[in-house]
């Protein structure tokens, strides 16, 4: 019998079982930024497709805010003060810009890379792991949604629709909106089986865009419909943007922030787990 006693590893050095179940060994290399850089390089020659999504909300603002707005007149703002129609819908279109930019990249592009080009399978031959891929794609969706939002904010400023100092927080808020929708979009994409399934994405996006107080105040709906609208993610994004850009800032805005943070966290966790299951099976 040897005189040397067998040493047991320090408890702090042994990964716990729950941690291994959440992030398996080799799933994360801390290099998600390389995927963001790869996406930026890939879009250098397709910049027109990248920036085209910026124009849709601008056209809505011109057609409805400036055109239809002359017929609608003023609407009550978040604090009850009257707002011109253009000033009322512009924050909603800002939130929609962040949503659309993030959702497009985290759904269609991710699905193509995952199911057809098999790009992620090739990435696994590098130090990248599924967690890096998920975080990198969500980060790129966040960046795209943020760029759309920054451009639309500039348009709002040019039209004189930013009248409050609180509007400086609109861009960080738009980044949170893009993060939340990007994470949930990628999580949903991991369950898609074919391109036909993306009809469900449009079935969710379009009603939110039309009814989540983007163009009309919540009070125009009967109370049962109001309760349904208040559950929509875009409603919280629109109300957050409208409060910041009009200066109607209150403690209630934190509820919208909390909703979007929880949405981003849950979407990110599901996206990471699903991507690991699909790529490492």
Residue 183 burial (CB count, 10 A): 28
pLDDT higher for 50 or 45?
A: 45
Answering whether pTM is above 0.95, one says no
Which residues are registered as beta bridge partners of 83?
Answer: 75
Average pLDDT score over residue span 32-54: 76
pLDDT digit string, tens, across residues 197-241: 888 888 899 999 999 989 888 988 999 999 999 999 999 999 999
Whole-angstrom distance, CA of residue 236 vs CA of residue 233: 6
Return the pLDDT at 85: 86
Reply yes or no on whether the pLDDT at 162 is more than 90: no
The per-residue pLDDT for range 53-66, each reduced to its tens digit, is 667 778 888 777 66
24 or 137, which is more confident: 137
Distance, CA of 219 to CA of 252 (rounded, Å): 17
Cα–Cα distance, 247 to 234 (Å, whole number): 20
**Mean local confidence (pLDDT), 251-275:** 93
Q: What length is written for the chain? A: 281
pLDDT of residue 183: 94
Task: Give the CA dihedral 86, 87, 88, 94, nearest 10 degrees.
Answer: 90
Cα of 168 vs its chain's centroid, Å: 19
Structural contact between residues 94 and 152, judged by C-beta atoms closer than 8 angstroms: yes
Q: Is the pLDDT of residue 19 over 90?
A: no
Tally of CA atoms within 13 A in the half-sphere of 252 that contains its CB: 13
Quickly state the pLDDT bin for 2 (edges 50, 70, 90). Answer: very low
Most confident stretch, 45-59, 75-89, 207-221? 207-221
| pLDDT of amino acid 202 | 87
14 has a pLDDT exceeding 70: no
Q: What is the mean pLDDT of the chain?
A: 83
142: CB partners within 8 A, 6+ apart: 102, 175, 178, 179, 182
Do the beta carbons of residue 245 and residue 161 sit within 8 Å? yes
CA nearest 100: which of 135, 64, 54, 138? 54
- Output the six-digit token pair for 273: 């787990």
Domain ranges of the chain: 26-280
In which band, very low, low, confident or very high, does the pLDDT at 101 lie, cut at 50, 70 and 90?
confident
Q: For the residues 58-87, what does the mean pLDDT come to? A: 77
> What spatial distance separates the first Cα and last Cα of the chain, rounded to whole Å?
44
Work out the angle between the directed axes of helices 199-211 and 233-246 (0-180°, nearest 10): 40
User: From CA 104, how far away is CA 96, in angstroms rounded?
Assistant: 12
């Amino acid at each position: 019998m040897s005189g040397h006693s067998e040493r047991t590893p320090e408890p702090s050095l042994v990964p716990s079982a729950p941690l291994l179940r959440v992030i398996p060994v080799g799933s994360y290399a801390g290099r998600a930024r390389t995927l963001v850089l790869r996406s930026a390089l890939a879009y250098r020659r397709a910049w027109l497709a990248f920036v085209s999504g910026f124009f849709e909300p601008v056209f809505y603002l011109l057609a409805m805010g400036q055109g239809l707005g002359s017929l609608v007149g003023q609407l009550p703002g978040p604090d009850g003060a009257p707002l011109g129609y253009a000033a009322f819908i512009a924050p909603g279109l800002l939130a929609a810009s962040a949503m659309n930019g993030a959702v497009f990249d985290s759904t269609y592009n991710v699905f193509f890379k995952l199911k057809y080009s098999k790009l992620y399978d090739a990435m696994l031959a590098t130090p990248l792991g599924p967690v890096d891929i998920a975080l990198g794609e969500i980060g790129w969706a966040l960046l795209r949604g943020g760029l759309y939002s920054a451009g639309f904010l500039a348009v709002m400023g040019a039209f004189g629709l930013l009248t409050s100092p609180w509007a400086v927080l609109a861009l960080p808020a738009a980044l949170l909106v893009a993060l939340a929708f990007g994470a949930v979009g990628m999580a949903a994409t991991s369950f898609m089986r074919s391109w036909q399934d993306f009809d469900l994405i449009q079935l969710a996006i379009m009603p939110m865009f039309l009814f989540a107080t983007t163009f009309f105040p919540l009070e125009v709906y009967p109370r049962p419909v109001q309760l349904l609208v208040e559950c929509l993610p875009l409603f919280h994004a629109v109300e957050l943007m409208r409060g910041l850009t009009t200066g109607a800032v209150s403690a209630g805005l934190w509820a919208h922030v909390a909703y979007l943070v929880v949405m981003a966290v849950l979407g990110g966790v599901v996206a990471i787990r699903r991507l690991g299951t699909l790529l490492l099976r």
